[in-house]
Amino acid sequence: MESIKQRLKLIDSWTLIGLVATLFVAIIFFSTQSEYFFTTRNFLNISRAISIRGILAVSVTMLLISGSLDLSLAAVAAAASMATASLMNSGYTDVQAFIGGIITGGLLGATNGLIVVKFRIPPIIATLGTLLTFRGLGYVFSGGDSIVIGAQTWAYLGRGTSIFNLPVSFIVFMSVLIFFWAVLNFSVVGNYIYSIGSDPDPCRYVGINVDRIRFSLFVFSAIIAAFAGLILLSQGGTAQPRALQGAELDIIAAVLLGGVNLRGGKGSLVGTFLGMCIIGVINNGTILLNVPAYWQMVFRGTILIIAVTLDSFRKGGGYR
């Protein structure tokens, strides 16, 4: 198995330099096109906008590094927010509803893990199916309507601000990212995740329970997604079955741009963060420039194609 020092080198320094340069160019471009872009207020808006997707990107990064993928995490976040809102409106306390939302995410993650690990269904197929299933059940449960909630004790997670007026949601995102960056790079579990993604067969040979780790990753990734969904709920005060619909594309594009290998074994949360910043700047800039929605879709699709193309030049193992 690869050492920590070897693993820290898995993301090419040139990739990081390229990401920083791309982010810098994007900021310069939009700054010259809109007087409202390069302002403190707008950068705070960007930080708030990327927070939820950024937390989801942390989950996607860990799964991809392990050689798996979960396309349903945005749907899990939406489902968790709806479950929490329903519990709150049914008379449960805020804490009970919060825990209920987290449990909902864990159960949905366990469903994905069971399908992928036990039934050996390819992750992209399995989670594409559960994405549609979770979304559909959300519409059935709510009748397609939003679930409105009153004030909640943890509203500050989505609406509050902290030091330097930074959104609390962004601070939460950075805290989640730093914690799991440390897990990936300085723990035995992180070593297992990278090793399993590189080649699971030697891991099985030395006694590592590959299936258990992969199943656990699906569960914990869904719990993180559920937490993101609860922050989203606290931001708007409503739970919607269509919440974060289409966010999967931005998240995967950001993760792949950040240098995570689609075939597993390589990547860094630092790269994911930079990739998410690039996506956030582009999304914000196109809105400020009043770019039509259909052209924004074209840009996002192009970014995803570029991200996948870059990934195709990186070596890595497929799902095994």
Strand partners of residue 30: none
162 — phi, psi (to 5°)?
-130, -145
209 — phi, psi (to 5°)?
-80, 90
What pLDDT sits at residue 229?
96
Strand partners of residue 148: 238
Report which of 181, 191, 101 is spatially closest to residue 149, judged by C-alpha positions. 101
How far is 182 from 198, CA to CA, in rounded Å?
A: 19
pLDDT band at 4 (very low <50, low <70, confident <90, very high): very low
Kindly state the average pLDDT of the residues 305-309. 83
Delimit the domains of the chain by residue range. 4-312
**Residues 120, 320: contact at Cβ < 8 Å?**
no
Q: Which residue has the higher pLDDT, 38 or 305?
A: 38
What are the angstrom distances between the C-alpha of 110 and each of 12, 45, 96, 220, 284? Answer: 33, 34, 21, 9, 35
Is the confidence at residue 125, as pLDDT, over 70? Answer: yes
Q: How far is CA 224 from the centre of its chain?
A: 9
Is the confidence at residue 8, as pLDDT, over 70? Answer: no
b (16+ CB within 10 A) / e for 10-28: bbeeebbebbeebbeebbe
Q: What is the pLDDT of residues 263-273, one digit of tens each?
A: 888 889 999 99
Class in CATH terms, 4-312: mainly alpha
Specify the residue for token string 């074994």.
265
What pLDDT sits at residue 164?
81
pLDDT band at 12 (very low <50, low <70, confident <90, very high): low
pLDDT band at 18 (very low <50, low <70, confident <90, very high): confident
234 Cβ contact list (under 8 Å, min separation 6): 152, 154, 155, 156, 157, 158, 159
Q: Using CA atoms in the order 68, 74, 75, 81, what is the torsion angle rounded to 10 degrees?
A: 130
What pLDDT sits at residue 317?
43
How far is 65 from 271, CA to CA, in rounded Å?
A: 13
Q: What is the pLDDT of residues 294-304, one digit of tens each?
A: 898 888 888 88
